[in-house]
Amino acid sequence: MGGIFHKLRHARRCYVVCAIARSGSNLLTDGLHETRRAGRPKQFFLRKYQGDYALKSGLDPDDFASYVRGIIPATATSNEVFGFKLMGWYLQEFLARLRETRAFGGGSAAHDLEMLRTAFPDLQFIQIVRRNKVRQAVSKARAAQTGLWKIQEGNCALAEPEFDSELIASCLEDTRREEMIWDRFFERLKVQPYRIEYEELAEHYAESITAVLRFLKIRPPRRSRLRPVTIRQTDALSREWEERFLTLAPNEFAIS
């Protein structure tokens, strides 16, 4: 990405994947990226990544309005689609940064939807959630201990994970709190996002990715078998931790 050619792409359609940790967002965004028709949905607006994306695209990371305007054509696919991912824990900071630029309108929270769709043309919202919250919390606890948030070539664990019921409970509370952040956001903006469950995505991957493309009014690629490029981290140890955790408070954490 980057270079002079990205200036020729002016995204006509944008979308944001609204996620929380261990909800399956990498499985979804990597799949959308692989279609080559749905942008390159990364966390372009997370501060710790912004500098790298700006450098790759020849943008100024310190001028947020200019960065927003530039990252869209820099990473849009040839069909003029731009996607990005936001996590619930920095949603409010992201909105505040957009407001502070005064470049996209929306001087107050009451005008956030107008501001977002000024910054990101025809913005659509996709929310990915995980039905089994305990498994989600277990996954986050393991990742926090090992440092492996995404399994891919070249990554290795920084430490061996150990069962910690208090850590899992804390991760479970984080999950509930961040989902509430998104629920309140959608309620305030009076937006109904396209909602996809991790379990459905994992079980029916190709069909789920195709359904998201159709929601975005993007023609699915022809003669292409959609296959996961992200490695699932659920294994025997995860299931063992889930069972151990549920025995501590089965009524409180029972999963239907």
Would you give per-residue pLDDT tens digits along the chain (256 residues)? 444 444 445 678 999 999 999 999 999 999 999 999 999 999 999 999 999 999 999 999 999 999 999 999 999 999 999 999 999 999 999 999 999 999 998 677 879 999 999 999 999 999 999 999 999 999 999 988 887 656 555 556 567 889 999 999 999 999 999 999 999 999 999 999 999 999 999 999 999 999 999 999 999 887 566 776 666 666 788 889 999 999 886 555 544 4
pLDDT at 230: 61
Under CATH, which number does the domain 4-253 receive?
A: 3.40.50.300
> What confidence score (pLDDT) does residue 256 get?
40
DSSP 105-166: ---SGGGHHHHHHHHSTT-EEEEEE-S-HHHHHHHHHHHHHH--SS--TT---SS-----HH
Distance CA 201, CA 112 (A): 30
Q: What is the 8-class DSSP label of residue 90?
A: G
Token output for 25: 């967002």
* Alpha-carbon gap, residue 253 to 251, rounded angstroms: 6
Q: Between the CA of residue 94 and those of 64, 65, 85, 221, what are the distances in Å?
A: 10, 12, 11, 32
CB-based contacts of 226: which residues, under 8 Å, 6+ apart? 31, 34, 35, 205, 206, 209, 210
pLDDT at site 153: 52
**Which pLDDT does position 29 carry in this prediction?**
96
Per-residue pLDDT, 231 = 61
